[in-house]
Amino acid sequence: MADTALQLAIVGGYMVLAAAIGVVAYRLTDRTAEDYYLASRTLGTVVLLFTTFATLLSAFTFFGGPNLAFNAGPEWILVMGLMDGIIFAVLWYVLGYKQWLVGQKHGYVTLGEMLGDRFGSRWLRGGVAAVSIFWLFPYVMIQQQGAGQAIVGLTDGAVPFWVGAGAITLFMIVYVAVSGMRGVAWTDTLQGLVMLGLIWAAVAWVLSAVGGLSSATASMGEANPEFLALGGGLYSPQYVISTAVSIAFGVTMFPQINQRFFVARSEKVLKRTLALWPILVVLLFVPAFMLGAWAAGLGVTVPENGNVIPAILNEYTAGWFTAAVVAAAMAAMMSSSDSMLLSGASYLTRDIYRPLTGASATGEAGATENEDGREALVARVGVVIFATLSFVASLYSPGTLVEIGDTAFGGFAQLALPVLLALYWPRTTRWGMYVGLGGAQLFYLVNVFLIADPAQYYLGWSASIVGMLLGLLLTVVFSLATNPSPGEDSSLYAVSGVESD
């Protein structure tokens, strides 16, 4: 009982520290939408790198990935640690840099604003926001699910699942209510640094306890010889490539990641950040996933519906250290969750509420204090409802963290190629975007909810990849077949005159 109390105290203390940083940031945050949602576009290299990094340090990557390595082998490192680190870095430059230039020129806060303005369409603006919020739901849910599972594993079931999941839900609702992008970014930087340090300390501690790297790897090979081979089993070429591409393209369209393309202080900040990104990804994912793979050969028992990281740390390290790692992991989940809710609130208020009500933008001529107050209320009510519903869903979700996360990644990935065309191909039309985005989403939804194993119909390739290609084809064909509609303005994305430094 004393150990459990100590572990929970460490978790609670870490979360209180994160909350304190958020409160300080709140006191320094202007009451403008641009400052609240984008920190006035002033983030430097270190903070931008770590806020993006920590926002992606979710239950999917920290618990789901090691669990998959435990069950299927360490090749998951290829999917997340190497391929996605490189692919996302390239997309960060190709898509993110152009989006940053456009945002600098026109002051956009959301992807929906950027697309709706270019194509003169409130329907496109609201549709992109609605699709994004829809796919954000399962990803918020897995943060709550991961938190609940982490607490169960940490306390050997003394604290039930719903308490852990409910606690982090309440915490992130309050945190989003008081902290904007600046607070999130500062907290993310702390959490990213702590997580890197702790995961490498965990590897050193476990390897020291089991006789070193060669001993741990030999035990893994003896228990599961296929773990020492490249590919095979789950890791077919189609699975590895489909998953890596889908996740990387999906990440670029996550609201909490996509909005970070707007926040860099300068072009140099963006370029330095994308260059450092693959290194940071490898430094975290390789040790985390190898802990999962080594555990399979060390006879570590993982509780039903539990996670391998707390299990192996409980086996080979001290209780306080396990609690510290789980606390950092939960803080990372909180980073993902608060960023998601913050971005979701901006999509809800700016891309759905404003067009539907005809409200003026905050700070624009004609905007009133009453309008600002109503918009703030809509955002906060939306956050409470969204977080509560996702918490309830987390109590009943039958899928694993990897399955749920992969579904959300695939849904977001359907947005990426039409958006890329819109940024770089002036011939893209409103109807091309309507049909390309709508067709890809419809195809993917049918495959996710109505077909048991879609990959069997696509030669082993995922429905997400097929849907992305379909969306690309539909956008091109319908853009060529239709003329620009009234209100479209391709010149909005001409950025040759934008000051980049």
Kindly report the CATH number assigned to the domain that includes residue 119.
1.20.1730.10
How far from chain centre, in Å, is Cα 500? 27
Does the residue 488 lie in any domain?
Answer: no
Which pLDDT belongs to residue 365? 41
Q: Distance (Å, rounded) from C-alpha 417 to C-alpha 432?
A: 12
Joined together, the tokens standing for residue 274 give: 């994308």
Nearest by Cα to 109 from 32, 26, 187: 32
Does the residue 422 lie in any domain?
Answer: no
| Residue length of the chain | 501
Biggest distance spanned by C-alpha atoms of the chain: 71
Which pLDDT belongs to residue 45? 86
Strand partners, 43: 264
User: Which segments of 298-318 does DSSP mark as H helices, in order?
Assistant: 308-316
Which pLDDT belongs to residue 207? 96
Query: 315-337 burial string, b = 16+ CB within 10 Å, else e?
Result: bbbebebbbbbbbbbbbbbbbbb
User: Which segments of 155-231 does DSSP mark as H helices, in order?
Assistant: 161-178, 181-210, 213-223
* Residue 97 host element (H or E): none
DSSP string, 431-493: HHHHHHHHHHHHHHHHHHHH-S-GGGGTTT--HHHHHHHHHHHHHHHHHHHSPPPTT--GGGG
Does the residue 383 lie in any domain?
Answer: yes
**Reported pTM:** 0.85
Strand partners, 232: 235
CB 133 within 8 A of CB 110: no
Return all residues near 378 (Cβ < 8 A) that are at least 6 apart.
348, 349, 353
Backbone angles phi, psi at 409, to 5 degrees: -55, -45
Q: Distance (Å, rounded) from C-alpha 111 to C-alpha 133?
A: 12
Does the residue 476 lie in any domain?
Answer: no
By CB atoms closer than 10 A (0-12, 13-18, 19+), residue 233 is middle
Which pLDDT belongs to residue 34? 65
Joined together, the tokens standing for residue 158 give: 């003394």
Does the residue 453 lie in any domain?
Answer: no
Does the residue 222 lie in any domain?
Answer: yes
| Residue with the two structure tokens 């940071």 | 280
Amino acid at 158: A
Phi-psi region of 366 (alpha: psi -120 to 50; beta: other; left: phi over 0): left
Number of domains in the chain: 1
**Cα torsion for 3, 294, 54, 75, to the nearest 10°?**
-160
Which pLDDT belongs to residue 462? 93
Nearest by Cα to 200 from 280, 319, 115, 96: 280
Does the residue 477 lie in any domain?
Answer: no
- In angstroms, the first-to-last Cα distance of the chain is 56
What domain range is 348 assigned to? 2-400
Does the residue 228 lie in any domain?
Answer: yes
Q: What is the pLDDT along the chain (501 residues), one digit of tens a residue?
A: 456 677 677 777 777 777 777 677 666 655 566 666 777 777 888 888 888 887 776 666 777 789 889 999 998 888 887 788 889 889 988 999 999 999 989 989 899 999 999 999 999 999 999 999 999 888 788 777 777 777 777 677 777 888 878 887 887 777 776 666 777 777 778 878 888 888 899 999 999 999 999 999 999 999 999 888 877 778 888 988 999 999 899 989 999 888 888 888 888 888 888 888 888 888 888 999 999 999 999 989 887 767 888 889 989 998 788 878 877 777 677 767 777 888 888 888 889 888 887 765 444 444 555 665 676 677 777 778 888 888 888 787 655 555 666 788 899 999 999 999 999 999 999 999 999 999 999 999 999 888 888 888 999 899 999 999 999 999 999 999 999 999 999 999 988 655 555
Which pLDDT belongs to residue 364? 46
Strand partners, 235: 232
Joined together, the tokens standing for residue 6 give: 């100590």
